[in-house]
Amino acid sequence: MNAPESNPAYVIAQKARFDAPIRLKGGAELPSFEIAYETYGELNAAKSNAVLVCHALNASHHVAGVYEDDKENVGWWDNLVGPGKPLDTRRFFVVGSNYLGSCFGSTGPASINPASGRPWGAEFPVVTVEDWVEAQARLADRLGIERFAAVIGGSLGAMQALQWALSYPERIRHSIVIAAAARLSPQNIAFNEVARQAIMTDPDFHGGHYYDKGVVPTRGLRIARMIGHITYLSGEAMAEKFGRLLRRGAPGFDFDIDFEIESYLRYQGDKFSTYFDANTYLRITKALDYFDPAADFGGDLTKALARARAAFLVVSFKSDWRFPPARSRELVRALLDNRRIVSYLELDAPGGHDAFLLEDERYHAALRAYLGNIEL
């Protein structure tokens, strides 16, 4: 049993700086970069117990726990990651890594471009899931992790978990892919494109160079987030949670809030627009759109996955209409075609795409069992 001092009550956000340039998939090169990260638990002597947690669009490296000076700010996957939790930090050394281009601490569009001495803004390159994995691999090197016991994520985080198995087949033993797809559908891309257009046509966007203008494209971010939220929740969950409840008891016959769902969306949009960076949003949605391991194999996902060596756990949720189970089954089939070891869990959970963040007993029990069976 680990001593209490290996489970500190508070977590500390860290940054790793890399001075060797990184060449991105799109051709651009960053001369140097920083990656924000956090760790939980202890790397064992054999260095065999490291698990990388990859986050989705709106989250960060702050996966679990709270900071000593900000006890309200609970990590986004705190229900899953911690001592005694399904991803048990008494057993695993968990690394939460932010990605390149983020607005939460890693080098991104708001960072200073060393060539100009001003924020990158629109000049910050478009980054890809492959680039993120590349940066995370350097972080792993820095932390002395030769091989991850597992890489895990939901949604965009799951795409990173999948890409790890392709970029570094020998450096990952288990890939845990939750609520994801091997590539976006045109409808997925369509929603991203509307969000981007809302941001880019906001007069306060200034072509991406708004940092020194004293404004941010709040309106565009707000719309982008509202669109996002519609796709994160299932129609059924929305109906159950909000119904057709009228905020003022009766229709107002005006354009103030009538229905509860409008209130929810406006609130979510307003909140998001105060803290998220528009240039980051544009790049993350592009990374989502571009992600397509099969693209270099004529669209043949089976061929694309041939180089994977990891075992896989794939999880989907029936109410997820952003990445419905059919998209996960497509991935499972291609993995089985390659005789990979695959566990597949399809949960009848009501939470929509966001179900991967929620505390569902069967979901957590399955993750606990899977992770518990990983030999260290």
- State how far the Cα of 92 lies from the Cα of 81, in Å rounded to an integer: 10
Interface residue with a copy of itself, options 80, 261, 313, 357 (CB under 8 A) = 261
| Interface with a copy of itself (CB under 8 A), residue from 13, 16, 28, 43 | 28
Q: Is 354 a catalytic residue?
A: no
Minimum Å gap between C-beta 237 and a copy of itself is 9
Q: Residues 31, 84, 114, 203: which binds a copy of itself (CB under 8 A)?
A: 203
C-alpha–C-alpha distance, residues 309 and 295, integer Å: 20
Can 320 be counted among the known catalytic residues?
yes
CB-wise, 173 or 183, nearer to a copy of itself? Answer: 183
Active site (annotated) includes residue 353: yes
**Catalytic member of 102, 155, 167, 273:** 155
Backbone angle region of 105, left / alpha / beta, with phi > 0 → left and psi within -120 to 50 → alpha: left
Least distance to a copy of itself from the beta carbon of 192, Å?
Answer: 9
Q: Which residues of 300-330 are buried (b: 16+ CB within 10 A; e: fewer)?
A: ebebbbbebebbbbbbbbbbbbbbbbebbee
- Nearest distance, CB of residue 182 and a copy of itself, angstroms: 11
Q: Is 336 in the site for a copy of itself (CB under 8 A)?
A: no
Under the binding rule (CB under 8 A), the answer on residue 219 touching a copy of itself is: yes
Distances in Å between the Cα of 7 and the Cα atoms of 83, 94, 181, 221, 284 are 7, 12, 34, 38, 33
Residue in 61, 174, 229, 353 annotated catalytic: 353
Q: Is there binding between residue 297 and a copy of itself (CB under 8 A)?
A: no
Q: Which of 125, 131, 184, 126 is nearest to 155 (CA)?
A: 184
Q: Report the alpha-carbon distance of residue 361 to residue 65 in Å, rounded.
A: 20
Whether 102 and 59 have beta carbons less than 8 Å apart is answered as no
Considering the complex, state which of residue 60 and residue 279 has its C-beta at the smaller distance from a copy of itself. 279
Q: How many CB atoms lie within 10 A of CB 145?
A: 22
Piece of the chain touching a copy of itself by CB under 8 A; list 3-11, 93-101, 182-190, 335-343:
182-190
Angle of the 186-200 helix axis to the 218-232 helix axis, nearest 10: 160
Going by their DSSP bridges, the two strands 87-88 and 118-119 should be labelled as unpaired
Single out the residue of 94, 81, 97 nearest to residue 36, CA to CA. Answer: 97
Q: Which is nearer to a copy of itself, 260 or 337 (CB)?
A: 260
Chosen residue from 238, 336, 345, 358 binding a copy of itself by CB under 8 A: 238
Residue 73 makes CB contacts below 8 A (sequence gap 6+) with: 62, 66, 67
Please pick, among 88, 131, 277, 320, the residue that the annotation labels catalytic.
Answer: 320
3-state secondary structure of 28: coil
Residues 272-291 contacting a copy of itself, CB under 8 A: 282, 286, 289-290
List 18, 211, 242, 297, residue binding a copy of itself (CB under 8 A):
242
Please list the active-site residues: 155, 320, 353
Residues making contact with a copy of itself (CB under 8 A): 25-28, 125-126, 183-187, 189-191, 193-194, 196-198, 200-203, 219, 222-223, 226-227, 229-230, 233, 235, 238-239, 241-244, 251, 253-255, 258-262, 265-266, 269, 282, 286, 289-290, 292, 295
